[in-house]
Amino acid sequence: MIMARSFALQSPYHPTTFLERGAAVPFTTPLLAGARVRAAQRSGLELVLPNPGGGKGFYVLPWTGVQEFCALTLHDRQLQDRAAGLQSVTPSGIRQAAREIAANGYAGREARDAATRAQRQATDDQLATNYYLLLILVSQVEQSALANMQERLPQLEMRAKRAVASIAPELGLEPDFVSTLLEELAVLLQGIGVGPIAAKALLPRALGNLVALRRDLEQWTTSHNDDTSELADIIGVTADLSIGCAGKAIADVRSSTEKMSVLLSRWRTEPQALSSWVARPEWLLDGWEPICLLWSEASTVATRRAALREMIDLVPILPKEVGDWIGMAEQIEAVNVYKRFSTLNRDWRSGLPVLDLVEEGASQACALDRVARNERLRALAA
């Protein structure tokens, strides 16, 4: 069997950093559910895959060798190629690559239309973020409230120019360069959201979906007295921690706009460090979207129970690094241990044994349905 030749099973698996854990990749091939991509130690990328048998441990294989593991859908081949060209692996980079592939139609027309809409929305979000960053800057320079900034555009433009001109010497920059920095910051912060529309940004919405999932899981745990109640509890505990960490990380990043001069200065002098810091919420929420979608797509008891069994193996492991980020190292360790031991020996992950997918005729039916389901999730994804 190919797996034995090319892939090393690593267990137990508890990554130290998010970079080591990798970014979730929305493959549509059923066997690649829960797959993550990360930079390899020397060069290139690696795929990190939960044990297809559902047991302990993860497979790590070269990114270019994924097709030896299983037959990839055309969508996944495109995504694999696109991801290979990324300069660095981040959740937003993978999301953008996946959107581009979906926008080309490789996950079907519904996903294509959704990706096109999401791309347009991202452009609008970026413009809106730039606009509100400018308003925040004006309000700080003029020491006026943001709420009073609703006025006609030409007047607003004049005040914005004055604010930029006023802060530029403090930063030791030309005003035009300050505007450029603001545009770059808008790209960086668009997922977090600032100003009055902050709650509609990508990451706060993702956090909201996770909070809703947590609420539903709590209700499930109290109303169902069977093994799925335990699964819901386990997922809920990890969700709780992700919610707490991501909520705090989002709030921290947003609060950085309270001193725009400091934020602009930091962006100019240490862009890498600031990027990494701003990216914390997306790393913390990375991998939860498919879990939330699986749950929201299931509306009956049977399908919800099935969803819980699928969800449990997709729950993102929180790296030890989170403890340093938020000062809760012990709690992080406890949750991961809980999760690792609780999922041990569960033999169901995709519902489709490897042999069935690649060899048996009639069972292709299940694989086809699962790919179609995954494509539907792509259409629902942000």
Partner 1 sequence: MNAALPIPGLQRELGRELRSASDQQLSRVVAVVDALPERGAADALIAPVRARLAQLRPDRPLRLSRVLFTPLNAVIVATVKWRPASISVPRSALDLLGKLILAQIGTLRSELETVASQRTSSDATAIQAIGDVLWPAAGRVLQELDMPGNWTEQTGLQSRVWHEIRDGAAVVLNRAVRIEEITHTPDNEELLQSLLKDRTGCNDAGFALVVRVLLVRHPRPTDLLRTLANLRHSGAATATEQAISATLDDLEPALEQIETADPTAAVGQAVQLAMMFDALDTPTRRTHITALRADAARLCQERLERTVQQGLLEPLTATSSPSSIDFPAIETTARGVRKLGAAAQRLGGQRSLERFMQLSVTAILALDSPAIDPVDRIRLLEILVGPDAALAYARAPSQP
Name residues contacting partner 1, limited to 302-321 (CB under 8 A).
Answer: 302-303, 305-306, 309
275 touching partner 1, by CB under 8 A: no
Which two tokens mark 272?
Answer: 């890498």
359 touching partner 1, by CB under 8 A: no
State which amino acid sits at residue 107. A
Site string for partner 1, 224-253 (x = CB under 8 A): ---x--------------------------
Q: Which of 197, 211, 348, 380 binds partner 1 (CB under 8 A)?
A: 348
Q: Which of 109, 120, 200, 215 binds partner 1 (CB under 8 A)?
A: 109
Phi, psi of 369 (to 5 degrees): -65, -40
CB of 302 to partner 1, least distance (A): 4
Q: Which of 2, 40, 71, 262 binds partner 1 (CB under 8 A)?
A: 71
CB of 376 to partner 1, least distance (A): 10
Stretch in the footprint of partner 1 (CB under 8 A) among 8-16, 71-79, 133-141, 239-247:
71-79
Stretch in the footprint of partner 1 (CB under 8 A) among 9-17, 125-133, 272-280, 367-375:
367-375
41 touching partner 1, by CB under 8 A: no
Stretch in the footprint of partner 1 (CB under 8 A) among 43-51, 212-220, 282-290, 296-304:
296-304
105 touching partner 1, by CB under 8 A: yes
Alpha-carbon span 312 to 319, nearest angstrom: 17
124 touching partner 1, by CB under 8 A: no
Stretch in the footprint of partner 1 (CB under 8 A) among 169-177, 321-329, 332-340, 343-351:
343-351
Question: CB count, 10 Å around CB of 196?
Answer: 12
Alpha-carbon span 40 to 47, nearest angstrom: 9
174 touching partner 1, by CB under 8 A: no
110 touching partner 1, by CB under 8 A: yes
Q: Are 9 and 51 within 8 A, CB to CB?
A: yes
Q: Between 288-297 and 364-380, two packed helices, what is the crossing angle to 10 degrees?
A: 110
Q: Which is nearer to partner 1, 28 or 190 (CB)?
A: 28
106 touching partner 1, by CB under 8 A: yes
Question: CB count, 10 Å around CB of 69?
Answer: 21
Residue 292's closest CA among 18, 24, 36? 24
Question: CB count, 10 Å around CB of 262?
Answer: 12
- Where on the phi/psi map is residue 238: left (φ > 0), alpha (ψ -120 to 50), or beta? alpha
68 touching partner 1, by CB under 8 A: no
2 touching partner 1, by CB under 8 A: no
The SS3 call for residue 143 is: coil
72 touching partner 1, by CB under 8 A: yes
Residue 104's closest CA among 141, 126, 122, 78? 78
Q: Which is nearer to partner 1, 174 or 227 (CB)?
A: 227
DSSP 8-68: EEE-S---SSHHHH-EE----SGGGTT-EEEE-SSSSEEEEEE-TTSSS-EEEEEGGGHHH
301 touching partner 1, by CB under 8 A: yes
Alpha-carbon span 65 to 129, nearest angstrom: 40
119 touching partner 1, by CB under 8 A: no
Peptide bond into 12 cis (omega under 30): yes
Kindly list the residues in this chain that would bind partner 1 in the complex (CB under 8 A): 71-74, 77, 104-106, 108-110, 227, 299-303, 305-306, 309, 347-348, 351, 353, 361-366, 368-369, 372
